[in-house]
Amino acid sequence: MTNVISVENLTKNYGSKTAVNGISFSVAQGDCFGLLGPNGAGKTTTIEMLEGVLNPSQGKISLFGEPANKSLYKRVGIQFQNTALQDYLTVIETVKLFHALYEQPMPLDELIQLCALEDILQQDARTLSGGQRQRLLLALALVNSPDLVFLDEPTTGLDPQARRNFWSLIEAIKAQGRSIVLTTHYMDEAQVLCDDIAIMDQGQIIASGSPEALLADHFNGAVVCIPLENTNDISGAHSIANGRYEIETEQVDETIQSLIQQNISLEGMQVKRPTLEDLFLKLTGHALRG
Ligand SMILES: Nc1ncnc2c1ncn2[C@@H]1O[C@H](COP(=O)(O)OP(=O)(O)OP(=O)(O)O)[C@@H](O)[C@H]1O
């Protein structure tokens, strides 16, 4: 499969601080690729080098099979993490302003429908909710009908409903065959949307692959979770996270039997499939948020 992005040994230094430390990865055409990691991991620095906004200190970036160069960015759309919108302009006025800048923009109706803007077209930019604002910024990123779209933490700060609504827009963009690079610190978001991910921590990629393959490689079976207040100790291998004992097991029945034999209360017990959040904890020894 053709790669829309190939990155080799990409590094960014800010003085003595190395924000991105020699990372390599590629993004296949038509995929949604997720760059994941906690605050300060180096996601924005990485995506801004891919977008041509920041110059790398070292390393190579290829876009659409060619060394990155200015003309290739015509095929790219960017939703930055922070963008100022013009006060007093309505949504439709803002979209039309950007639409007029391009020779071959996406048809206006298609853009409005794709980003679910129909109901807010006459709203002033200052009155938009977080989710509405992100939908407008997404429309501005798509206005040139890009083959490759960069979305930098597009759902940070949105409520769960708005996040899920935004996910369906990302799925619709992907269904049109556009490739997507998404940064997020929400592991559930990556698990739902991404074909491939790279988990970053402290400027490096600590794991990469499809979410399913990564979880299959690092976990067996399920995780049995018991609240900490149920007991002072549990025999056998376990970890402590999120205020509970977590026991990774291939034999859920036997594990629960063993807890009963140890006279440990099962009150509040959960059995769950491991998530990318669990993987991050396993790989780094610390939870993703705090
Ligand atoms: N202009 C800069 N000068 C100095 N250090 C910087 C600069 N920009 C980023 N950094 C540092 O580089 C590291 C990576 O930052 P970056 O913003 O890429 O992380 P991130 O994963 O995107 O985090 P967030 O989720 O908070 O956006 C951080 O330690 C940050 O403080």
Domain ranges of the chain: 3-216, 220-273
**Which atom of ligand 1 lies nearest, measured to the CA of 185?**
25
Residue to mutate, 23, 35, 43, ligand 1, most ligand atoms under 8 Å from C-beta? 43
Separation of alpha carbons 229 and 247, rounded Å: 16
Per-residue pLDDT at 51: 93
Separation of alpha carbons 227 and 240, rounded Å: 10
> Cβ neighbours of residue 75 under 8 Å, at least 6 residues apart?
63, 64, 146, 147, 148
H helix intervals, 55-154:
91-99, 108-114, 130-142
Phi, psi at residue 54, to the nearest 5°?
-115, 145
Amino acid, res. 86: Q
CATH number listed for the domain at residues 3-216:
3.40.50.300
Residue to mutate, 23, 39, 46, ligand 1, most ligand atoms under 8 Å from C-beta? 39
SS3 232: coil
Per-residue pLDDT at 1: 65
Instruction: Judge whether residue 204 has pLDDT over 80.
Output: yes
Q: How is residue 41 annotated by DSSP?
A: S
Q: In what order do the strands lie in the sheet with 66-67?
A: 17-28, 3-14, 58-63, 66-67
Lowest mean pLDDT among 92-96, 162-166, 205-209: 162-166
SS3 72: helix
Instruction: Give the mean pLDDT of the chain.
Output: 91
- As given in the structure block, the two tokens for residue 29 are 């055409």
Amino acid, res. 175: A
Residue 169 and residue 192 in contact, taking contact as beta carbons nearer than 8 Å: no
Q: Which residue has the tokens 């049995």?
A: 224
Per-residue pLDDT at 290: 45
Separation of alpha carbons 271 and 117, rounded Å: 40
52: left (phi over 0), alpha (psi -120 to 50) or beta: left
Residue, of 289 and 245, whose pLDDT is higher: 245
Residue 286's pLDDT band (boundaries 50, 70, 90)?
low
Residue, of 187 and 206, whose pLDDT is higher: 206
Question: pTM of this prediction?
Answer: 0.86
Lowest mean pLDDT among 13-27, 114-128, 169-183, 233-247: 233-247
ipTM of the complex model: 0.96
Residue 12's pLDDT band (boundaries 50, 70, 90)?
very high
In this structure, the residue with its CA closest to atom 29 of ligand 1 is 40
Instruction: Judge whether residue 138 has pLDDT over 90.
Output: yes
Q: What's the whole-number mean pLDDT along residues 121-125? A: 92
- As given in the structure block, the two tokens for residue 146 are 């890009």
Residues touching ligand 1 (Cβ under 6 Å) are 14, 17, 19, 37, 39-45, 185
Q: Tell me: the pLDDT tens digits for 20-61?
A: 999 999 999 999 999 998 888 999 999 999 999 999 999 999
Per-residue pLDDT at 289: 54
Per-residue pLDDT at 187: 86
Our CA angle for 180, 186, 188, nearest 5°, is 85
Q: Tell me: the pLDDT tens digits for 210-266?
A: 999 999 898 888 889 999 999 988 888 888 877 899 898 889 999 999 999 999 999
